[in-house]
Each structure stands twice: as C-alpha cells, then as structure tokens.
Structure 1
Amino acid sequence: MGKLTDKIALITGSDSGIGQATAIEFAKEGADVVVHYLEDADGANATREQVEAQGRRAIVVHGDHGDEATVKEWFRAALEAFGRIDILMNNASVDASGTYVADLEIADFEATMRSNLIGQLICCKHFINHRKQTGGGGKIINITSVHQEQARAGAADYDCSKGALRNLTRTLVLEVSRWG
C-alpha cells in the first residue's frame, strides 16, 4: 500500500472497465485521480466517488481526447486542482468495427485511429511538455492489446491502431528517457 502516495494520475476512459478499475486501485495506493469520460457521466461520477471513498481527491473531465483543445483544457483543470500530473494512463479507445477492409469506410477507419492513436499522442504531447516544465520524471502508460500482434478479420481499424500505439510507446521511450 502507498506505492503512489500523493501522486496525481490522469486516466482516460476511467468511467468504466480497465480505466475505472485502475483509478480505484491507484487511489488505494495513494494517488489522486483525474477521471475522464466521453459519454458516461454517471460512470465517471461513480469512479470519482470510489476514488474519494479511498480518502483521495478526484476531478472529472469530459470530452474527446482526439481534440487537442479539449486535452489542453483537461490539463488546465488538473493543474488548477492538483498543481501537477505525475502519471498519464492512455486507456480510452474504441473497439473493432467488425467491418472487413473491402467494406470499411475510410472515415470510420480514421475515426478509430483518432480515438485509439491520435488521442493518445495528443495526451502524451501535453504530458511530456508539462513534465519537462516541472523538471522531468513521470510515467506514461499506454494500453494496447494482444491484437497489436494478433490480427483478426473485421478488425483492421482496431488492430492497426493498437500496433501503431505500441510503436508510439517505443518511440517515446527513446525520446523521453533522458528526462526520467
């Protein structure tokens, strides 16, 4: 217990599933949490309540992580509430469309890439710049999938986005390790 005492974590997609469970576990370990949601305000508020039940602080932010102006606002709100962000967990994403490539609308493929890759890149960009301004350090956790390696029919949108996110993560290791 206490591995994350007084750390601040921003967790995208923390209104349900892996993100919600992680927010609660982080709180149990001593972290305050920025809870994010796109559509499920009730789920986000339930996460906030469960974080607070652990004796930690939480704020809720809303919006599309694929929109840079929205992400900037989350960072502003988090810094106003907590003064810093120590951990970024990019969890929010959409699942495979189930559409085969021959029938896949390019706009649908692009929407999945925006949700599952570009949004994470935007969040990383702002987190890295914030951490550089505060002297370095911090942690980035990007949630990928077994499907970054194991492709499926009808899942080119999801599988490609998760493979690209894995490579973004590898690139980040090379770029930010010097700041701890």
Structure 2
Amino acid sequence: MADKIDTRDLEQPLQKQQQDMPGHTEAMRPRPDHGEDTYQGSDKLKGRAAIITGGDSGIGRAVAIAFAREGADILISYLSEDDDAQETARWVEHAGGRAVLARGDIGEESHCRRIVEQAVSEFGRIDILVNNAAHQATIDRIEDLTAEEIQLTFRTNIFSQFYLSKAALSHMKDGGSIINTASIQAADPSPDLLAYAATKGAIVNFTIGLARMVAERGIRVNAVAPGPVWTPLIPSTMPPDRIEKFGRNTPRGRPAHPGELAGAYVLLASDQGSYMSGAVIPVTGGRPL
C-alpha cells in the first residue's frame, strides 16, 4: 500500500468539464483521491461513532474513510447522490466500520434531528459531528443573486450546523468533538462566490463562539478551512473555463485531493487534539488564511 497521495494529475491544467448540481464523483476527470489506497489508521478513534454531513463525496468521503480506518462507525449524511453515498459506505465497511446512510436535506431542522436520532439508534452514541456539507453557486453580479439562492446557501451551509449541533450535543459526552468545514473564502472571499463566502465567515464565528459555550462540558469545537479542493462541487458549480485554472493561485500551484485534508479532521476528532478548541486549521496549499 502506498503512503502518499499522487498529485501529479492535479499539477497540470484540469480538463474542461461541467456537471449538474450537486455533481458526482464518477464523472470527474481526473478522479479525486480520497485516500482509498493511502490512508493508514492506527485506532485513534476506536469505538467511537461519527456523523459526517456531505459524506458521500469529496472531503466528506475522505474523512469517512480515514475515520473508519481509525476505528470509528460512520453515519453518512447526504442530499441525493445515492451512488456516491453507497461507494463511501463500501469503503467504510471495507475498513471494518459500520456505515449508515441518511438521505435528505440538512437545511430542514426536522431532518437534522432525524439524523441524530438515527445515529443514536444505530450506534448507541455520538462522539464526533463533522458539519461538512455545503452548497455554492458562481454568480457574477449581486443583482443576479436571488433570494432563493441566498436562502439555500445559508440553510445548507450554516443553519444546518446550528440544527445538527443543537441535536447532537444532548447526546455527546466529555471528550466529544464537533468539526466544521469552513474555507479560505471566510478570509479571502471570491466576489462570484459571495453568498458561499459569507456563510464560511459565519462558520468561523460560529465555531469560536460554540467552542466557548460548550467548553465546560468537555466538548471541543474546531474548524478546518480548506483552500481549493478537487471535489464534485467544482465541476457542478464552476464554468468550464475556470476549472482549467482551479487551484493555480496557491503557492503549491494546484488544488488538493480530498484525501490530503483527512489528517486534519482526524487530529481534531482524536485525543491528540485534546487541547484544541475554537481553532481554525488552514489547509490551503500555502495561501494565508
């Protein structure tokens, strides 16, 4: 088994391509690497249970694979991409973990409550919540940013984190961990991702505030702030001409494979991160956060 993700396929201009939202992994060229053949676990999360939203693909799949190889059982929350979700579940089970699928819209508070109830019913516990799912759309003029698009972006990206954290915290014990996916967009917003970037700024603030609120319970709250990552969100929301240059504005000169972020989430979920709370870890290819 290899121990390093091969990034040569991202070091050249990416192929022009376009998908319908929310995008599917199988159609992407090159295929993202989620650490399927590289991530090796060492029981850092043995006996723990995790909820991962957006766990069907991209960063969520990479985190699910890593957590499972560290010994965790995983509830994979996803919107509608059944094929991707089932593939993630297959990798989790191959690692020896239990995989539970939860299909639906996390922008609805009732669905977020059901996700938590399902995890407790299946696993008997919740130790880790990864608020990772996100929606974005590329829109050049604020005049073209509809109320529906703004509401969808905020419901999916930040309202869901309130809903899921509220529901999960009543089941989490001392040592529990909430990890939110923020973005470099929180600090360096792209004008054509205005609504998405605004939610990522809100996530950073939410992370720091919630960390202070629940510290006395022994629960840690942190965030990972990725730079450009090659996930289905990109070909399904970005114009094909832009995809060729995606990630070239980093000192590394390329976007990340999802698997290159998994280690940050494992650190924050595990006892190795026991004194980390209210932190935002940049994984940006060298761009300052």
Range class of TM-score, shorter chain: over 0.9
Specify the SS of the correspondent of 1:3: coil
- Structure 2 residues not aligned, in runs of 5+: 1-41, 219-289
Q: SS of 1:60's equivalent? A: strand
Q: How many pairs were matched up?
A: 177
1:166 aligns with 204
1:54 and 2:92 matched:
no
Higher share in helix: 1
Deviation sequence 1:53-102 (CA, Å, 0-9, x none): 01111111111111111111111211111001100000100123324212
Deviation readout 1:85-131 (Å, 9 max, x if unpaired): 10000010012332421221122111101111101111111111222
Q: Structure 1: which 5+ runs fail to align?
A: none
Q: Are 1:102 and 2:143 an aligned pair? A: yes
Higher-Rg member (1/2)? 2
What is the rounded CA distance, in whole Å, between the counterparts of 1:127 and 1:73 in structure 2?
Answer: 11
- Structure 2 counterpart of 1:82: 123
One-letter amino acid of the structure 1 residue matched with residue 168 of structure 2: F
Aligned 1:131-142 pairs, distance under 5 A: 131=172, 135-142=173-180
Matches within 5 A, 1:6-155: 6-131=47-172, 135-155=173-193
- Cα RMSD for the two superposed structures: 1.1
Do the aligned partners of 1:66 and 1:120 also contact (CA within 8 Å) in 2? Answer: no
CA distance in 1, matches of 2:138, 2:157: 13
Q: Percentage identity across aligned positions?
A: 39
**Separation in 1, partners of 2:102, 2:148:** 27
Residue 4 (str. 1) matches residue 48 (str. 2): no
Are the counterparts in 1 of residues 139 and 145 from structure 2 also a CA contact under 8 Å?
Answer: no
Give structure 1 regions of 4+ aligned residues with deviation exceeding 3 angstroms. Answer: none
TM-score, normalised relative to structure 2: 0.60
What's the counterpart of residue 6 of structure 2? none
- The normalised TM-score by structure 1 is 0.94
Residue number in structure 1 paired with 2:4: none
